[in-house]
Amino acid sequence: MINPFIYSDNNKRYHTLDYFYKHKFNSKVCKISLNAGFSCPNLDGSVGYGGCIYCSKSGSGEFAGKIEDDLLKQFDDVAKIYEKKWPKAKYIGYFQARTNTYAPVEKLKEIYELILNQKNVIGLNIATRADSITNECLDYLEELNKKTYLTIELGLQTINDKTSKLINRCHSLDCFTNMVKSLRNRNIDVVVHIINGLPYETKEDMLNTVKYLNNLDIQGIKIHMLSILKNTPLEKLYKTKPFKILTKEEYVDIVISQLELLRKEIVIHRITGDPKVEDLIEPNWLIKKFGVLNEIDKEMVKRNTYQGKSLE
């Protein structure tokens, strides 16, 4: 069967990050995850305490660098591995753990530009929260965007206000939406994180989140499956008030339905979770990441569907 999806040069029926980088930079591009030791405003009391209930102690930075290592060592250790496999690769520094704009701008400049000055670095991805980018920071990001390839990753997870309160996000949907508009007014690319399988959410809830995002000027999305990790408030909730965990088949069905609702040009940066095996409580099927990806591909072919089909 011929692949009907236009942003693909293989069997994928959605707009993969690898495809995007290859066609934008004419090169293999690798992201190097970094842990700069940032905190978070719903950890330290600025907006709340305890953090999001699913967040591990690393602040969603399980595969970022070791916090005890300085940033250059974190960067160099991974770059050396990539260089052996892809000698001509370009790099993007990915500030992943916790809230990576949650510091004075002078500190941000020092950290970001340290990585930008490394060999073969062509850009930065900065993961943060919508309530943690000041106007001064926006001015700096606009300046930075003019000299490198900059992407801001905003955590949203869901548009459902009840769920958002349950998971302790501590910011409103309006706050998120206004920040997307502020970043786009400065021509800065935005990638949004969402989570499928949040406690008590229905398939309709998850599709509504994607429908909402499709009407915003975003350039990419990361779709995660909820991971219940050890030593998190979510683990405690799951053990005291058990909620339904999506099966792999349900997750595949929901993701495909979400892809069908997204504009074709939106880049799919991630399509499943990637937890550390030793920390994972549920769901066990997440351990086999490539199995999940393969099931999505096979089911899309079976349904003869692709990203954006429901919009046609």
Concatenate the DSSP letters of all residues of 220-273 into one string. EEEEEE--EETTSHHHHHHHHS--PPPPHHHHHHHHHHHHHTS-TTSEEEESS-
Determine the Cα–Cα distance for residues 95 and 84; give it in Å rounded to an integer.
Answer: 23
**Does the pLDDT at position 226 exceed 60?**
yes
Torsional sign, CA 52, 53, 59, 60: negative
pLDDT in tens, 171-218: 999 999 999 999 999 999 999 999 999 999 999 999 999 999 999 999
Does residue 9 lie within any of the structural domains? no
pLDDT above 70 for 115: yes
The H or E element containing residue 91 is strand 90-95
Which burial class, exposed, middle or buried, applies to 13 when counting CB atoms under 10 A from its CB (0-12, 13-18, 19+)? buried
Whether 223 and 257 have beta carbons less than 8 Å apart is answered as no
Confidence of residue 48 (pLDDT cuts 50, 70, 90): confident
90 within 8 A of 30, measured Cβ to Cβ: yes
Let me know if residue 224 belongs to a domain.
yes
Nearest to 209 by CA among 256, 181, 166, 173: 173
Q: Which of 208, 213, 205, 162 is nearest to 184 (CA)?
A: 213
- Which tens digits make up the pLDDT trace of 121-139? 999 999 999 999 999 999 9
Q: Is residue 4 part of a domain?
A: no
Domain count of the fold of the chain: 1
273 confidence band (pLDDT: 50, 70, 90): confident
Instruction: Kindly state the tokens that stand for 272.
Output: 């499943």
Count of helices and strands (H, E) across the chain: 10, 9
Q: For residue 240, is it within any domain?
A: yes
Q: How far apart are CA 12 and CA 294, in angstroms?
A: 10
The band of 167, judged by pLDDT with boundaries at 50, 70 and 90, is very high
So what's the pLDDT on residue 57? 66
d(CA 240, CA 199): 13
The confidence score (pLDDT) of residue 90 equals: 97
Work out the mean pLDDT of the chain and round it to a whole number: 94
Per-residue tokens: 28: 């293999």
With respect to residue 271, please indicate whether it lies within any of the assigned structural domains: yes
Give how far Cα 26 sits from Cα of 23, 89, 126, Å.
5, 10, 23
User: Which single residue is written with the structure tokens 């005291």?
Assistant: 240
| Of the candidate ranges 30-34, 37-41, 105-109, the one whose mean pLDDT is the lowest | 37-41
CA angle 145, 128, 291 (to 5 degrees): 105
What integer pLDDT is reported at residue 64 of this predicted model?
58
pLDDT digits (tens, 9 = 90+) for 50-90: 889 998 765 454 555 677 789 999 999 999 999 999 999 99
Query: Is residue 7 included in any domain, yes or no?
Result: no
The confidence score (pLDDT) of residue 61 equals: 46
**Per-residue pLDDT, 38:** 92
Assign residue 218 a region (left: φ > 0; alpha: ψ between -120 and 50; beta: otherwise).
Answer: beta
The enclosing domain of 163 has a CATH number of 3.20.20.70
CA distance 101 to 130: 10
Q: Are strands 280-282 and 228-229 parallel, antiparallel or unpaired?
A: antiparallel
**12 falls within a domain:** no
Give the structural domain span for 263.
Answer: 17-305
User: Model confidence over 278-292: pLDDT tens digits?
Assistant: 999 999 999 999 999
Residue whose tokens read 């909730």: 237
- The alpha carbon dihedral of 271, 272, 273, 278 has a sign of negative
Q: Please report whether residue 310 resides in a domain.
A: no
The whole-number pLDDT of residue 306 equals 98
